[in-house]
Amino acid sequence: MANVIVSASGVSSTSTLNSITVGLLLSVAATGTTATSSTGSPALPGAVTTLAVTGNSSTAAVGTVSAVPSQAVPVTGPGLTSSLQTLPQGVATGISATGVVGNAVTQTQLPTTSPLTFTTSKGSTLVTVTHPDHGALTGDTVIISNVGFDSGLYPDLATQLAGEYVITRLNNSTYTFSLTTGAIDGVLNAGEADVQYEISIGLDVSTGGVGWGAGTWGRGAWGSAANITASDAIRLWKQDNFGEDLIFNAVDDSIYYWSAAQGLSTRGKLLTYYASTAPSKARQIAISDRDRHVIAFGATPIGSDILDPLLIRFSSQENAFDWTPTATNTAGDLRLGNGSKIIQAVETRREIIVITDSSVHSMQFIGAPFTLV
């Protein structure tokens, strides 16, 4: 039997062609003289690569030569076998295979387009969430639902992460919470979910500064200067009824509307959910009983989220969701000229008394076109 010389990426061997194994992933070009008898049909494991054989004519075909893949196969394309076609976006990080290509195991993170991702360590209860500009504070409650990972991976972990948790803020982009049991799987910045942040709990005490009234009486010399610092105010809520519905807000914060028709199991929604031109924040919300205007004291102007502590805005009569002034409604606004902020609005039988930090005003409904003055 004639001998054939096979050259494979610099490695050569001389043997009969009854059985040839090339241990490479690359396409192998083999040259030489073909045999005068059949070389057989080797059956070797792995992904099959047909070698191109050139040389003198022969009376038998060379047959098929198979290539055995290396132990670690980096995957950077659509995949080597059909089982790898399901990998997300054609990119797999940390994919390894042993033996036949296609028995792949994901070891690290998966690509995701969600702004919210999870990091867990298998067996640990600590979960780190990355969510840019989440706005939550330590002690706030977050509700996580509809957790998922690419290609449906980690279904048990997805179920485990869904729930209501009290968080610890790390920075404006990340926070942590604890599971009741250790995480079923470990992931790094992976997954996506729907998340709801409950209203910040706020302060239950007022933190004073070092100005007038702070500290003990008589400290220091009479007339001595003192540095004045801003104080953190206690969380206060204002609310009023619009028929059977409820409108409420935290002082200097968002306004919410709760509909009795939706039942007690349904939370109130932002007023701007129902009316995009409604004030997004206010110092106080109230209803004028005689004429049924919804009035926001110390409110945000139309088109702005910056609170004006002296601006008063009111909806159209009998309509809590119509805040854009037109010639056919009674919506409008006015701004007080004295003081730096509205402290309190008090409704009486015929008027609303508006108190600022330096003045007192009376507000009445006189009808269109001046409405409330």
For residue 279, which of 253, 246, 261, 318 has the smallest C-alpha distance?
253
pTM over 0.85: no
- What is the predicted pLDDT for the residue at 217? 56
User: What contacts 293, CB < 8 A, 6 or more positions away?
Assistant: 287, 314, 315, 316, 317, 330, 365, 371, 372
Cα 188 to Cα 154: distance, rounded to the nearest angstrom: 12
Cα 17 to Cα 34: distance, rounded to the nearest angstrom: 9
Distances (CA, A) of 98 to 10, 73, 86: 25, 8, 18
Specify the range with the lowest mean pLDDT, choosing from 174-188, 234-248, 358-372.
358-372
Strand partners, 178: 126
Terminal-residue alpha carbon distance, the chain = 113
Specify the range with the lowest mean pLDDT, choosing from 54-63, 169-178, 220-229.
54-63
pLDDT bucket at 219, cuts 50 / 70 / 90: low
Quick check: 38 and 16 in contact, CB under 8 A? no
The total of other beta-carbon atoms located within 10 Å of residue 38's CB is: 14
Q: Which residue has the higher pLDDT, 369 or 19?
A: 369
- CA 68, 69, 74: angle at the middle one, nearest 5? 175
Share of the chain above pLDDT 70, in %: 61
At 131-174, the pLDDT tens digits run 998 888 899 999 999 999 988 899 999 999 999 999 999 999 99
Distances (CA, A) of 274 to 194, 281, 307, 322, 323: 21, 14, 20, 9, 11
Q: How does DSSP classify residue 341?
A: S
Q: Which DSSP string do the residues of 124-141 spell out, in sequence order?
A: --EEEEE-TT----TT-E
pLDDT bucket at 12, cuts 50 / 70 / 90: very low
Q: What's the sign of the alpha-carbon dihedral 265, 270, 271, 272?
A: negative
At 221-274, the pLDDT tens digits run 566 555 544 456 788 999 999 999 999 999 999 999 999 999 998 889 999 999
Strand partners, 246: 241, 258
